[in-house]
Amino acid sequence: MNTTIAEYFLSFDVFRSFVSRISLWLGTDVTPFIVFMIFLLGALVITLVLATVGGFGTYAERKISADIQARIGPNRVGPYGLFQLIADGIKMVSKEDIAPKTADLFLFYLAPFLAIFGVFSTFAVIPFGSGITLTDLNVGVFYLVAISSLVGVGVFLGGYASNSKWSMLGGMRGASQIISYEIPVTLSILAMVLLSGGMSFGQIVGSQGAFPHQWFLFHNPFSFIAFFVLFTGALAETNRAPFDLPEAESELVSGYHTEYTGMRFGLFALAEYVEVFVVSGVAVSLFLGGYNVPGEEFGHSLAGQGAQATVFFLKTCALYYVVIWIRWTFPRLRVDQLMVICWKYLTPIAIFNLVGCAVWLVVFDGKSMFELFFHH
Amino acid sequence: MPEQTLNVFMPVTIMMAIAVILFVGALAAARLLSPRGKKTDEKVMPYECGEEPVGTAWSLFNVRFYVVGLIFIIFDVESVLMFPVAAVFKKLNEAGNGVYVLIIFLSFISVLLEGIAYCWKKGDLDWVRSFIVNKNIDK
Amino acid sequence: MISLVSYLAISLLLFFIGLTLMIARKNIVAILLGIELILNAAALNFVAYSRFAASNIDGHIFSLFVIVIAAAEAAVGLAIVIHYFQLKETIHIDEATELRN
Amino acid sequence: MYVNILFLTSALLTVGCAVAMLIARNIMHSCIFLLGTLIGIAGLYVTLGADFVAVTQTMVYVGGIVILMLFAVMLTGGKEFVSRAQKLLGLIPAMGNKWSFGIAFLTSFVFVLSQFVLIKNIVKGVEVTKEAKPFVSTVEEIGELLLTDHVLAFELSSVLLLGALIGAAIIARPRKERVAND
């Protein structure tokens, strides 16, 4: 049982003896320093990987939308336009940074920071593998929900500070949409916490298995519905179509980041794309078996960690594809429909699921549907 | 449970620090590389599709936004209180106290349901019904 | 190095700032901000005492309920402020002198 | 080592943002500084080993109360976003009466001082442990306490929240006369 990535590495005898040899050589115990370095390197690597994934999100979005609309999409920069993301990055950096004259400059500069901060802080608990989780906090999933609500404040402030009418409308809509849809998402997560008996991602993923019949998605009928509630809510929380009202191009120009230019806009966009990946990862960990691979002994080795991370990335990217697919398939909702869907459909269904899961847990003693049907 | 130290929170702090550094670094790079032209009046004007903006955008908004926030915060707090109970539910169920916990849990949720039923009945969950053009908006 | 006194000092400072904010500001929302600070100072004290001077974690439960009540208080307080503003079109505390309209 | 750094950072964030909140001229900025203060306090909770309370603090305050405050400022602000230009010593905005700030400072100082003396005499008997306890996650313990010792408070809090929801919804609901005006 590892709780952090450092403990995982220190559980290998080779690595431990290596550390103790260095300690002997230097005359002091260097374990705290090594632990810190592992954390720092791990955090840097994960940031780099996820930022790249976020960048590729923009590329994938364009390519897949082109595919759906029978176009070609970006194909000029590099093979298949793969370097489009680098070109975009260079463009973002070299654009002029303009703030409206009437803007509230302090808040204008702070808003993208809050969005970035809220998204990047969640990386600390995302489970890429049983060992490669930066830290497996006992309040893991709760922490993730809590810190990512900073994005809502960022969106609101971005809209407010610009002092532009489009931005203000987008910011108000965005904030109220993000906070509303947080409720069904939280309640669905709560149902999974109930089934797994813990809030840490290690516990939640560990109580599922590698094969679909061990996933929480098929644990009972209620958790099956809960997945769709969570997925819909997550789409809305990340402002993805069909819930992209805060930045509805045809109505609000560009919503809360109308007045943002250059790198500040780039940071908002990066936060948004990375957040989609994060919520896909959370949905995978909670419902679709997470990083589980067959074989417990295998899973602990370094090769097993690689396999786990691969499985996690494959599932998450599949879900990411579904998110993009939905965007280019469904029309946008009206703002009143948005609120009705959240409060009159998703929230009561989520509460129903929660109650159902609790009753199921007591009545069937925590067994899943498959265990009940096939193991008598 | 293995003994832990507060070091389990270190990655969280490191990640937050990285977010700060990334933000500052990206803006510094942009500051170095981006052109800084003259700030003409047209350039720093809020974008309103070519029209000259009239007044400020910081006008009064409809109170329905507040009502949504209000319902949200109550539900938020209730779900926060349910988290630790949900986390020990399975353990207590295995210890044989499942029915007791279920009763407490269900009575808690039923109060939550009363709240949503009230708001539903009174129409606070509708977006259109409470649509009022605020007469203060011109001031 | 970190002792109970450091937490109590921070809590005292927060309480002081909150109280000043509450008395000095004339904007009702700012007064509510001050109340939030004071409640947080109290909750911090509970947790600090439970860590340094008690063997159980009842203090955590207290501060949990302080947070719950702060949320309820903020919701109702801000609702009153908004309603008052709709009636009088001001949120200056010195002009709120009537109980009924 | 790590705990000390975390404590110092959080304490600085908390107190710094609280002071900034006090002297900020714009109520919107005050709300944002409140956000900083609350995150700092969450950091302090972490140094105390109260992980669940820390995350609850973040969830309820950052996601809920601060957004609600920002909404309320939007709904009541307009011309009074920025305080009137009366300042004490050219630094501190007094928002209204020039002297109220000084008087408030004095009053709260006297109040805090008297409370301090009072509490110091009362709490003499408390034994304070110095040695570092190992960090044990509080989630399970809190869950069990909520279901055993504090079950009444747990149930009553839901009733309290229901009351707050209904009361605040009645107060804040847009009234019908206004429809007739437009």
Nearest to D59 among A110, A145, A175 (CB): A145
Task: Give CA–CA dist C31/C34, Å, rounded.
Answer: 5
Of the residues D70, D152, D161, D175, the best mutation for testing chain B's interface (the one with the most B CB atoms within 10 Å of its CB) is: D161
* Burial classification of residue C78, based on how many CB atoms lie within 10 Å of its CB (0-12 exposed, 13-18 middle, 19 or more buried): buried
Q: Domain coordinates of chain B in residue numbers?
A: 6-138
Q: Which residues of D73-103 are buried (b: 16+ CB within 10 A; e: fewer)?
A: bbbbbbebbebeeebbeeebbbbbeeebbee
Tell me: pLDDT of D1 over 80.
no
- In C13-42, the residues whose Cβ lies within 8 Å of chain D are 13-30, 32-33, 36-37, 40
Nearest to A172 among B23, B65, B75 (CB): B65
Residues of C in contact with B81 (CB under 8 A): 64, 68
Residue B124's pLDDT band (boundaries 50, 70, 90)? confident
Does residue D171 form part of some domain? yes
Task: Give CA–CA dist A101/A108, Å, rounded.
Answer: 11
Tell me: pLDDT of B138 over 60.
no
How far, rounded to the nearest angstrom, does the alpha carbon of residue C65 sit from its chain's CA centroid?
A: 13
Residue D125's pLDDT band (boundaries 50, 70, 90)? low
From the CA of C98, how many Å to the nearest CA of chain D?
Answer: 17
D–C touching, 3+ CB–CB pairs within 8 Å: yes
Identity of the highest mean pLDDT range in A365-369, C79-83, D78-82:
C79-83
Chains near D (3 or more Cβ pairs under 8 Å):
A, B, C
- In D2-61, the residues whose Cβ lies within 8 Å of chain B are 2-3, 6, 46-47, 49, 51-52, 56, 59-60
Residue D41's pLDDT band (boundaries 50, 70, 90)? very high
CB contact under 8 A, B73 and C74: yes
Tell me: pLDDT of A143 over 60.
yes
**What are the tens digits of pLDDT across the range D55-83?**
999 988 888 888 888 888 887 764 454 44
Do D60 and D29 lie in a common domain?
A: yes
Residue A363's pLDDT band (boundaries 50, 70, 90)? confident
Task: Give CA–CA dist A344/D166, Å, rounded.
Answer: 17
B104 and D154 Cβ atoms separated by less than 8 Å: yes
**What are the tens digits of pLDDT across the range B13-72?**
888 899 899 888 888 888 888 777 777 776 677 766 666 666 666 666 677 788 888 888
Q: Name the domain count of chain D.
A: 2
When the pLDDT of each residue in chain A is averaged and rounded to a whole number, the result is 83
Task: Tell me the torsion sign for CA atoms B104, B109, B111, B114.
Answer: negative
Q: Which residues does B138 contact at the CB level (< 8 Å), separation at least 6?
A: none
CB contact under 8 A, D55 and A142: yes
Helix B64-94, helix B98-122: angle, nearest 10: 170
A125 touching D (Cβ < 8 Å): no
Name the residue of chain A whose CA is nearest to D66's CA.
A153
Residue D179's pLDDT band (boundaries 50, 70, 90)? very low
**What are the tens digits of pLDDT across the range C3-58?**
777 888 888 888 888 888 887 777 788 888 889 899 999 899 888 888 877 777 88
Residue B57 has a pLDDT of 61
Name the residue of chain D whose CA is nearest to B2's CA.
D136
Cα→Cα distances B10→B5, D19, D38, D47, Å = 10, 27, 19, 11
More confident position, A92 or A178 = A178
The helix/strand count (H/E) of chain A reads as 17, 0
Q: How many CA atoms lie within 13 A of A196 on its CB side?
A: 30
CB contact under 8 A, C53 and D7: no
From the CA of B137, how many Å to the nearest CA of chain A?
Answer: 12
More confident position, C60 or C2 = C60
Tell me: pLDDT of B139 over 70.
no
Residue B97 has a pLDDT of 81
Residue C94 has a pLDDT of 65
Nearest to A199 among D26, D66, D139 (CB): D139
How far, rounded to the nearest angstrom, does the alpha carbon of residue D90 sit from its chain's CA centroid?
A: 27
Q: How many CA atoms lie within 13 A of A68 on its CB side?
A: 15
Residue D40's pLDDT band (boundaries 50, 70, 90)? very high
Tell me: pLDDT of D163 over 60.
yes
Nearest to B132 among D60, D155, D178 (CB): D178
Residue B120's pLDDT band (boundaries 50, 70, 90)? confident
Tell me: pLDDT of D167 over 50.
yes
Do D53 and D112 lie in a common domain?
A: yes
Enumerate domains of chain C plus CATH numbers: 4-95 (1.10.287.3510)
When the pLDDT of each residue in chain B is averaged and rounded to a whole number, the result is 77
Residue type, A100: P
Cα→Cα distances A182→A41, A234, D180, Å = 32, 8, 35
Q: Which CATH class is domain B6-138?
A: mainly alpha
Tell me: pLDDT of A1 over 80.
no
Tell me: pLDDT of A170 over 50.
yes
Residue A250's pLDDT band (boundaries 50, 70, 90)? low
Average pLDDT over residues D123-128: 64
Residue B130 has a pLDDT of 46
A318-321 long-range contacts, CB within 8 A, separation 24+: A319/A280, A319/A283, A319/A284, A319/A288, A320/A57, A320/A60, A320/A276, A320/A277, A320/A280, A321/A60, A321/A64
Nearest to C26 among D7, D95, D178 (CB): D95
B87 and A359 Cβ atoms separated by less than 8 Å: no
When the pLDDT of each residue in chain D is averaged and rounded to a whole number, the result is 77
A169 and A252 Cβ atoms separated by less than 8 Å: yes
More confident position, A356 or B31 = A356
Average pLDDT over residues D83-89: 46
Residue B131's pLDDT band (boundaries 50, 70, 90)? very low
Q: What's the domain range around D170?
A: 138-176
Task: Return the percentage of chain A with pLDDT > 90, whole number.
Answer: 2
Residues of D in contact with B100 (CB under 8 A): 147
Beta pairing partners, C27: C92
Chains near C (3 or more Cβ pairs under 8 Å):
B, D
Nearest to A194 among B49, B86, B99 (CB): B86
D173 touching B (Cβ < 8 Å): yes
**What are the tens digits of pLDDT across the range A275-304?**
888 889 999 988 888 888 887 777 777 788
Task: Give CA–CA dist D45/A144, Å, rounded.
Answer: 17
CB contact under 8 A, D70 and A156: yes
Does residue D83 form part of some domain? no
A19 and A30 Cβ atoms separated by less than 8 Å: yes
How far, rounded to the nearest angstrom, does the alpha carbon of residue A131 sit from its chain's CA centroid?
A: 19
Task: Give CA–CA dist A64/C40, Å, rounded.
Answer: 49
Do D52 and D112 lie in a common domain?
A: yes
Chains near B (3 or more Cβ pairs under 8 Å):
A, C, D
CB contact under 8 A, C64 and B63: no
How far, rounded to the nearest angstrom, does the alpha carbon of residue C34 sit from its chain's CA centroid?
A: 6
Task: Give CA–CA dist A180/D146, Å, rounded.
Answer: 27
Residues of A in contact with B87 (CB under 8 A): 193, 197-199
Question: What are D105's two structure tokens?
Answer: 């400072």
Do D166 and D105 lie in a common domain?
A: no
DSSP A129-149: SSS--SB--TTHHHHHHHHHT
Q: Which residues does A111 contact at the CB level (< 8 Å), separation at least 6?
A: A154, A155, A157, A158, A161
Do D17 and D69 lie in a common domain?
A: yes
